Amino acid sequence: MTQLTGDSVAELFAGAVTLAKNGVKVAPRGMATREVFDVHMLLTQPRARLLSAPPSRILNPAFAVAETVWHLSGSDADWIFNYNGRLRQYADDGVLRGAYGPRMRNWAGKVDQLRRVVEILTEDADSRRALIQLYDPALDAAGHKDVPCTLGFGFRLRAGHLHMTTSMRGQDAWVGMPYDLFFYTVLHELVAGWLGAELGNFHHHVGSLHIYEEHLDQAEQLTSLTASEVMPDLRTPWEGFDELLRHVYELDATGHPGWDAMTTTMRSYQLWKIGLRGTAWGQAEQVDGPLGPALTSWYQELNRRAGSSSARTTAGAR
């Protein structure tokens, strides 16, 4: 097993990309890939969760936030496509069958696994049974397009600190990993808050860490990274949590500074999409913490792509 340790997601990302691009060549589903088996990552500051690695890797922070809200609220609704339209290619009849939310919050229509984690560790602080299962053979052997990459989560409360472990069958280091770690560490922070615990270490186990060969040229441009800034506090009471998520999804103020930054990030992006670019940019500049600069970087990237597209169109017309 290979071990990577970092104080921030930026450090883990740099290490994971370097590791994956030097991996063994394989081609699952005919897609050329480099792969490394059995990687363990340790993140010591889970709130340093937002990657910023321009110019080679620029995230859409509005999607990172929206996907997190989507998972936490237990949803598989199609509104997530408003933040990442590419997900539609993995949907069956318009639904992402591997969506984490329903499995986490309403397993088999019966169990809110997130609630049970809090209940178990409240009743027995030393328990090893505080688990959330995501992969379901009864569903995932059916042949639908979207199969969860994440197998599940484990939580251990020790000496007043909550430690979290994620287990994945596979992870794309370049595209998926930065978004995955954003969601996982928000979940970690929330559960710690509900238990009145300090935030401990985040452990991340990946069976197949990989990078697709189409991204290798971009990965080669990743020469140096600045450590991810620690994000504002997102802890909030369990009672009223689902209502808070509803406000964020509806792009309304919550009264919680950290979650209001998340709401404004989503709202700004929706304004951008309908062409209100100046208003969207102005809202992005008002977002506290690292989300604001990340969003303006994303808008700059979208403008760059639009400019490149226009240049190609003009050249073709000649």
Q: How far apart are CA 183 and CA 74, in angstroms?
A: 13
Cβ atoms 140, 126 nearer than 8 A: no
Gyration radius of the chain over CA positions: 20
Query: Which residues, 6+ apart, have CB-to-CB distance to 72 below 8 Å?
Result: 101, 104, 105, 114, 186, 187, 190, 245
Cβ atoms 265, 291 nearer than 8 A: yes
- Active-site option among 53, 64, 149, 266: 149
Q: Please name the amino acid found at residue 202.
A: F
Would the CA dihedral through 69, 90, 205, 55 be positive or negative? negative
Establish whether 106 is a catalytic residue: no
Q: Please name the amino acid found at residue 41.
A: M
Residues involved in catalysis: 149
